[in-house]
Amino acid sequence: MAVTRSNRDHTTALLAGTALACIGAVAAALVSQHVFDMQPCPWCVLQRVIFLAISLACGLGLLWRSRVGRLISTALALLLAASGIAAALWQHFQAAASASCNLTLADRIVSGFLQLDSLLPDVFSPRASCADAAVNLLGVPYDFWSLALFVAIDGVLTLVLISTLRRA
């Protein structure tokens, strides 16, 4: 199968759209936090970090346009999307039932390993317990909105990966 310019343009558009969707998700979370006072827990903040990491991986794929570059960046973004799915599910089914999120894996990654809460506290500082952060948006748990976007991103990135693998 010959590689056409439209195939490359298609994967480029999908990567760019995914990066923008991830940035949009973080922007929406920040609006929810700073305008509507929906304070994040450590798991919420970890999902912000994952969305931004996916955006960076997609950006890498946009810059590193070779087949190998697209494969590596897309595979990395897919792994990150899977970790986002796991984080959203864990937040909903485990962490939301807990009164405290202190010293959980999410807290150790964001506050300990990455220290993002001290670098950009308005974006990455957890300000609520997991139980307090369990809120609904339009009748749907907030973490399920995040989960839905991670699943959609996973689907889009799978298409990019398949398309890239088919390139000769």
| CATH classification of the domain holding 93 | 1.20.1550.10
Phi, psi at residue 138, to the nearest 5°? 55, 35
> pLDDT band for position 92 (50/70/90)?
confident
pTM of the model: 0.87
Residue 65's domain comprises 5-166
Quote the number of domains for the chain: 1
Report the distance separating Cα 120 and Cα 52, nearest Å.
14
Higher pLDDT, 1 or 119: 119
pLDDT at residue 156, rounded to an integer: 98
